[in-house]
Amino acid sequence: MLARAITHALVGLDARRVEVEAHLQGQTPSFTIVGLADRACQEAKERVRSGVRSAECEWPLGRITVNLAPASLRKEGSGFDLPIALAVLGASGQVPRDELERHAAHGELALDGRVRAVAGVFAVAEGARRARLRKIICAATCAPEAALAGVEPVPVWHLAEAVAYLRGELEPEPVAARNGAEPPSWPDLADVRGQERARRALEIAAAGGHNLLLAGPPGTGKTMLARRLPGLLPDLDSEASLEVTRIHSVAGVLRAEHPLVTSPPFRAPHHTASAPAIVGGGRGPRPGEASLAHRGVLLLDELPEFARPALEALRQPLEDGVISVARAEGTALYPARFQLVATMNLCPCGARGDPAVACSCSAQRLAAYANKLSRALLDRFDLLVAVPRPRARELAGERAESSQAVRARVLAAQAALASPPRRSDEANALLTRAVERLPLSGRGRSRVARVAATIAALAGSGVVGPQHVAEALSYRAPKELTSL
Amino acid sequence: MSELALAAFAAEQNVHPRTQERTARFAAFSARFDGAAYLAALERRGVRWLPRSSRAYPPLLRAVADAPSGLFLRGAGDAELLARPSVAVVGARACSGYGAQVARTLGRDLAGAGVVVVSGLARGVDAEAHRGALEAGGPTVAVLGCGIDRDYPAAHAELARRIAETWLVVSEYALGVEPAPWRFPARNRIVAGLTRATVVVEARERSGALITADFALEEGREVYACPGEITSALSVGTNALLKLGATPLTEAGDLLELFGLRAPAGAEADLTPAARAVLDALDASLSADELVRAVSVDAGTVAAALSELELAGLVGASDGVFRRTGR
């Protein structure tokens, strides 16, 4: 007797159709899984056997062979438990086989037969939709996520429910796609006292999607400012929203109650993170922090403390907006078009830029610190702002402008930037003079021009004037970071 | 030719040339030394040799008690450059933003008035003085503490290249000599010996810049020190010099008088009203945020004004703090 269940395996963010065939023959009891299954997948045997008994079904006596086709595709993870169990039950005639083939199935089994959610349900459900399957049997907790993909989910808490449903004995409650995610509450810019220059740079970065580096002594509010950037950004449009949801689904970081990601994601990996943790990879492979920050903000706090390979690995996504993780079996592509915000001290001891403390760093340590950041990486920052320590009376000042007010200006500027403003002749002349007088590379010139366009848009000006170029010039790399 | 043999022998033995003049082993080396071949090897590397016996040897350096037996020269500049009015600008390697600013402005103003800026290509004050001179398109000479064909520190290879493009890089050490701690005080005696005056911009208690100042004093040259904060570790050396009678230096003009020169009158820059207001408010070193409050305009306007002033050479920035480049 042969039965077939259908599920999907993930290659990167891509769901590939996998047929789970179960064949039952002979009298000698045995259970084998073939078809390039990884360890978690091989261990499905024990969970499936135990789960089937707990669902008060019969474990068929005889030789059971489960084949995961196509055999050339590596199957990873525990999401195959449910389809394997259903295929085995189908082969032994305990669930109707034709009904089984009309559904996709995805989920992990507990030993007591409960169905657990597995990462990537959204991507798997999208695969099911493309394969023209109308329904997907999955864990009840991740059913709203599957519903987002345009496939009708069959939410089940237990294997017994799935069996009853396929036999036509139970009709599970329909699940509505819950699109309206609660907006995350970002901290407000009004909490930041003083720091007019850094606030201004943050606003420009938000309006133009520029990468921003804040450098200054500890305790001046660099991280505080950086964390307020997502609150200045507009919500994601529906296409971007689905794209981000897919990545977060595969990484298993979606929130069950609000699966659709509608506001720009914000990721702040710790500086001990490895290169695969940041750009993706490892076994699986899994998307990294850079991909999780796709269409949002990636904050690297204490930039020079990150391992050099991790930082250098970021250069590809900063250039192309995509990360390709190459494996022997093929290449997984993860989108990673994020806005980079980083903070750092001006020297290893942290005292530079602080009028109250003298820096105790030797010339060699200063040089080593500056060398940690390659010129190529520094070149990716459009705005570099030194944040010196404010004097006490600034901190006692009145509450500053709120995020909401700044966000309104940012949205207007983004709309204006849809048609990039023209540069006036005076602005071009100033730009040329700056290239002659300052250490400014060709790439530096175009960066200043881009930032100047954003500044003009923020000012509501249709033309980039010399004052806009002059302001953009003041956010170029300070010489302390490029030469010591 | 015996001077060149001495330099070559010292390089081979990894010792200072002054210790070897009368040794028997040097006499043996000198007898079989092929000077012409060595000079040809130097020429292939674009290096010239200026022996003490040459008439072009700088007279001020010749007057020093233990003048080097000769100098290796690299760069497009003429040997005559070494005899022109010159000032040594030296100081701490891990200098503060203030020190870097002062060194750069001094280098720029001195070189702009035609005075040769001599320094040691080290990090910090030295490099800033060279950069300031290059910025003004004026003359500058870098004295190395290693072989003439080496760039030390390696990070300053580009700076050395830019200096050699128009001016001179010099050393008393022959090809291939590695940098070593004991060679730098010897280098400092050349820096002091080449110049009429030595300026110490910032120096810690036991700074190499003080060795340069000591050499200058021994040879009866002028020593200037830039006043710094009395509480800063970077001012301990300079303030000690001031107590000993060094002349306090507050602007390049103090030095130019020594040579009977005057600073070229800078045309008053044509500034926008915002830039003028920011410059007027900049009576101390201030951050951009403090300027926003002092001038009562928004941060964007202050940023644009600061760029304008920087391009006009009136304001410099370091570590997020802005200050005037001169009074």
* Per-residue model confidence as pLDDT tens digits over A231-256: 999 999 989 999 999 999 999 888 87
Please report where in the chains the tokens 């300031």 appear, as a residue.
B132
Q: Sign of dihedral through CA atoms B131, B132, B133, B135?
A: positive
pLDDT of residue A480: 65
Look at residue A326 and tell me if it is in a domain.
yes
Mutation for B interface: A474, A476, A480, A483, most B CBs within 10 A: A474
Look at residue A180 and tell me if it is in a domain.
no
CATH 3.30.465.10 assigned to B79-259: no
Candidates A455, A470, A484; nearest CB to B308: A470
Q: Cβ–Cβ contacts within 10 Å for residue A282, how many?
A: 11
**Distance to chain A for B114, nearest Cα, Å:** 20
Nearest-angstrom CA–CA distance, B193 and B16? 17
Question: In this structure, which long-range contacts are made by residues B311-315, counting pairs with CB atoms below 8 Å and at least 24 apart in sequence?
Answer: B311/A430, B311/A433, B311/A434, B311/A437, B311/A438, B311/A470, B311/A473, B312/B269, B312/B271, B312/B275, B313/B108, B314/B269, B314/B279, B315/B279, B315/B282
Please tell me whether residues A227 and A315 are part of one structural domain. yes
Q: What CATH number is given to the structural domain containing A471?
A: 1.10.8.60
Please tell me whether residues A398 and A431 are part of one structural domain. no
Nearest-angstrom CA–CA distance, B188 and B190? 5
Look at residue A44 and tell me if it is in a domain.
yes
Look at residue A183 and tell me if it is in a domain.
no
Q: Which of A368, A386, A414 is the last residue of a domain?
A: A414
Nearest-angstrom CA–CA distance, A157 and A78? 16
Q: Does A390 touch chain B (CB under 8 A)?
A: yes
* Per-residue model confidence as pLDDT tens digits over A351-384: 888 877 878 888 888 888 888 888 788 888 999 9
Q: Does A200 touch chain B (CB under 8 A)?
A: yes
Look at residue A172 and tell me if it is in a domain.
no
Please tell me whether residues A355 and A212 are part of one structural domain. yes
How far apart, in Å, are the Cα atoms of B78 and each of A252, B103, B188, B284, B327? Answer: 70, 25, 22, 41, 34
Tell me whether residues B94 and A387 touch, CB distance under 8 A: no
* Per-residue model confidence as pLDDT tens digits over B147-201: 999 888 888 998 999 999 999 999 999 998 999 988 999 999 999 999 999 999 9
Which pTM value belongs to this model? Answer: 0.81
Q: Which of the following CATH numbers is that of domain B273-324: 1.10.357.10, 1.25.40.10, 1.10.260.40, 1.10.10.10? A: 1.10.10.10
Mean pLDDT (whole number) for A131-135 = 91
The count of domains in chain A is: 3
Nearest-angstrom CA–CA distance, A323 and A38? 24
Tell me whether residues A471 and B303 touch, CB distance under 8 A: yes
Q: Cβ–Cβ contacts within 10 Å for residue B167, how many?
A: 23
Interface predicted TM-score (ipTM) of this complex, two decimals: 0.82
Distance from the Cα of residue B325 to its chain's centroid: 18
Candidates B233, B290, B311; nearest CB to A433: B311
Look at residue A317 and tell me if it is in a domain.
yes
Asked if residue A103 has pLDDT above 80, the reply is yes
Candidates B232, B303, B308; nearest CB to A358: B232
User: Whose CA is closest to B82, among B102, B99, B65, B64?
Assistant: B64
Nearest-angstrom CA–CA distance, B97 and B105? 12
Mean pLDDT (whole number) for B266-277 = 80
* Per-residue model confidence as pLDDT tens digits over B3-42: 888 888 888 888 888 777 778 888 888 888 888 899 999 9
Helix (H, G, I), strand (E, B) or coil at A156: strand
Please report where in the chains the tokens 């100081």 appear, as a residue.
B91
Q: What CATH number is given to the structural domain containing A246?
A: 3.40.50.300
Look at residue A65 and tell me if it is in a domain.
yes
Q: Does B263 touch chain A (CB under 8 A)?
A: no
Q: Would you list the domain boundaries of chain B? A: 1-44, 79-259, 273-324
Nearest-angstrom CA–CA distance, A22 and A115? 20
Angle between helices A196-208 and B299-311 (to 10 degrees): 100
pLDDT of residue A77: 83
Give the end-to-end CA distance of chain A in Å, rounded to a whole number.
Answer: 76
Mutation for A interface: B126, B159, B285, B307, most A CBs within 10 A: B307
Please report where in the chains the tokens 């109707």 appear, as a residue.
A96
Stretch 445-464 of chain A: residues touching chain B, C-beta under 8 Å: 455, 459
Give the end-to-end CA distance of chain B in Å, rounded to a whole number.
Answer: 51
Please tell me whether residues A284 and A389 are part of one structural domain. yes
Element (H, E) at A33: strand A30-34
The burial class, CB within 10 Å (0-12 / 13-18 / 19+), for A319 is exposed
Please tell me whether residues A343 and A475 are part of one structural domain. no
Helix (H, G, I), strand (E, B) or coil at A220: coil
* Per-residue model confidence as pLDDT tens digits over A320-358: 999 988 876 678 889 999 999 999 998 888 888 887 787
Containing structural domain, residue A422: 417-484
Tokens representing A14 are 């891509």
Look at residue A184 and tell me if it is in a domain.
no
Please tell me whether residues A375 and A282 are part of one structural domain. yes
Q: Does A292 touch chain B (CB under 8 A)?
A: no
Please tell me whether residues A449 and A396 are part of one structural domain. no
Please tell me whether residues A220 and A278 are part of one structural domain. yes
Tokens representing A134 are 């109308």
Element (H, E) at A266: strand A266-267
B313 to chain A: closest CA residue: A437
Answer yes or no: are the C-beta atoms of B9 and B35 closer than 8 Å. Answer: no
* Per-residue model confidence as pLDDT tens digits over A192-218: 888 889 999 999 999 999 999 999 998
At residue A169, φ and ψ (nearest 5 deg) are -95, -10
Tell me whether residues B307 and A197 touch, CB distance under 8 A: no
